[in-house]
Amino acid sequence: MTKELDIIDKTVAKKIPKYVRPTEGKLGSKQFKKIKDKKLKGKLERIEKVSKEAANKAARSELLLTEEPGYLEVEGIEKTFNITQKQLKDNVDEDSTKKIFDLKLTNFGPYSLDYTRNGRHMVIGGQKGHISSFDWVGNKLNCEIYVKETVRDVKWLHNELFFAVAQKKYVFIYDHNGLEVHRLKKHIEVNKLEFLPYHFLLASVGNSGWLKYQDTSTGQLVAELRTKLGCCNAMAQNPWNAIMHLGHSNGTVTLWSPNMSTPLVKMLTHKGPVKAVAVDHTGKYMATSGLDGQLKLWDIRTYKPLQQYYTRSPASSLTISQLGLLGVGWGPHVTIWKDAFLKKQQSPYMNHLQAGTQVRDIQFCPFDDALGLGHSDGVSSIIIPGSGEPNLDSLEANPYQSKKQRQEAEVHSLLDKVQPEMIVLDPTFIGKVDRASKDLLKKELKEEQEAQLAGKGKLVPKNKMRGKSSSLKRYLRKKQKNVIDEQKLMIQQRLEQEREARKKRTVDDNEDKDRPKALERFSNKKRKS
């Protein structure tokens, strides 16, 4: 018994570092001894104790996650990419065979599709105006409508009750019964839609080249950003930091946040227009495809290429599963790559041919070993063993949730809603503490003051009269000192211009002071000689 407990403790100890919060330096006994304030010392000790207990409990909970992903395994000289969906259907259980299906909808294609966060529901949109949402696991149709105009993209919102559709001119929001709830008039000629679940933001980009963020909880338009790079047909979100990745016709990929009017990062990825972009769930890797026939894999942390592949025809769609499988749709083919970001692969993991069609959109189903295909002849679903996360978190996304659980999850997500101002490249930056010593901080402050006063003489504090503090100065005082955005720079520049103009005015007044005025001769006072 003791040996088993020792083995469990060792396995738990190995997993604890994964759940420890990222910090620059852990507080040890030496650091605690240096703290003189007893109240602060006790508070920090309690916080450290709670965080260690939380990491320990999270690591121990992994012992209950007994499910493991299952990949295809072959013997001898056989290859996994030669195994067809027909062979899989003949050798898997009855529930798994239901995941392989074809919906023949030749009159309304090509189709785009999207899964809900729990992977239970699917929405499809045909380019010629057919829209449908259904519970694909339970084979239950929710709604089916024909809008009689072009449909470019579809996207689920926070749950299966609402979905957004990018139509010919505007973006429309429908409920689960197919009733039109909203028409977003400011989103014009949209090509791609993305939804940020933790921020309740619907992002769109289209022919005009404007990236727009709409808050679906309040109905406000949060940001309108002009990319200045023309029509955009490729967009993906980074699930780790909620940054938008846009692919442009000049071969660049730009990274956007609603807080900045200019791109945070601009990467030259291809020699031709970018066709598709995908980002993995850890936020570390990105895949791009272009009209130059290249498929490139990138490390977003360093913005450097990892691997490069060639496709016979330009890849029209890319997707990355929860466990890191890369799906590539090109022509009538779909190719799945395993461990593509870790090392250069000589052969794919799986292949699928949708004969006589052109694949437009592919999506991995969350928490399931399935891949949805939207093509010119309708919608198909195939089995990809090892693509879905086997151990789900029911508090995060529950495929088996009841009506009451869904309502409670919606309320909790609204209460925990993250503000758009929190979207930054490095989410761990918020809450960092400057751990420099007091002496170093005083030295830096002194050097900064000396640099500011260089050439201006001694600083004399002025007693400001009432009403002299402008709204611009109040804004700068309230703004965090470590946050520098475009608006703050513009305000600082405007204040500097006003200061220069005021200084020039006082100089001119001093020069005119000694000049005789025309009406001074009528004054009783003697004019100064």
Q: Which sequence spans correspond to the domains of the chain?
A: 1-64, 85-383
Least confident interval from 169-183, 231-245, 380-394: 380-394
Q: pLDDT of 324-352, one tens digit each?
A: 999 999 999 999 999 999 999 999 999 99
Residues 6+ apart with CB under 8 A from 480: none
Residue-level pLDDT at 492: 80
β-bridge mates for residue 335, sequence order: 328, 351
State the first-to-last Cα distance of the chain, in angstroms, to the nearest integer: 109
β-bridge mates for residue 103, sequence order: 379
Mean pLDDT value across residues 296-308? 94
β-bridge mates for residue 525, sequence order: none
In whole angstroms, what is the distance from residue 140 CA to residue 352 CA? 27
Q: How confident is the model at residue 268 (pLDDT cuts 50, 70, 90)?
A: very high
Number of H helices, E strands in the chain: 9, 28
Q: DSSP secondary-structure letter at 221?
A: E
Q: Kindly write down the DSSP assignment for every residue of 71-140, as one continuous string.
A: -----TT--GGG--HHHHHHHS-HHHHTT-EEEE-TTT-SEEEEE-TTS-EEEEEETTSEEEEEETTTTE
Least confident interval from 23-32, 79-88, 374-383: 23-32
Q: How confident is the model at residue 464 (pLDDT cuts 50, 70, 90)?
A: very low
Q: pLDDT of 173-216, one tens digit each?
A: 999 999 999 999 999 999 999 999 999 999 999 999 999 999 99
In whole angstroms, what is the distance from residue 86 CA to residue 401 CA? 32
Report the CATH superfamily, name and number, of domain 85-383.
Answer: YVTN repeat-like/Quinoprotein amine dehydrogenase (2.130.10.10)
Count of Cβ atoms closer than 10 Å to residue 195 Cβ: 21
Burial of 84 from C-beta contacts in 10 A (0-12 / 13-18 / 19+): middle
In whole angstroms, what is the distance from residue 364 CA to residue 395 CA? 21
Q: Which range in 59-73, 130-144, 425-439, 483-497 is most confidently predicted, on average pLDDT?
A: 130-144
Kindly calculate the radius of gyration of the chain based on its CA atoms and give it in whole angstroms: 30
8 A C-beta contact, residue 392 and residue 398: yes
Least confident interval from 127-131, 264-268, 270-274, 462-466: 462-466
| pLDDT > 50? residue 18 | yes
Residue-level pLDDT at 19: 73
Residue-level pLDDT at 515: 57
Q: pLDDT of 30-54, one tens digit each?
A: 666 777 788 888 888 888 888 888 8
| pLDDT > 90? residue 462 | no
3-state secondary structure of 385: coil
Computed over every residue of the chain, the mean pLDDT equals 86
In whole angstroms, what is the distance from residue 514 CA to residue 502 CA? 20
Burial of 15 from C-beta contacts in 10 A (0-12 / 13-18 / 19+): middle
Count of Cβ atoms closer than 10 Å to residue 38 Cβ: 8
SS3 content of the chain, % helix, strand, coil (to 5): 25, 30, 45
In percent, the amount of the chain with pLDDT more than 90 equals: 60
Burial of 143 from C-beta contacts in 10 A (0-12 / 13-18 / 19+): middle
Residue-level pLDDT at 465: 45
Mean pLDDT value across residues 113-126? 95
Residue-level pLDDT at 264: 94
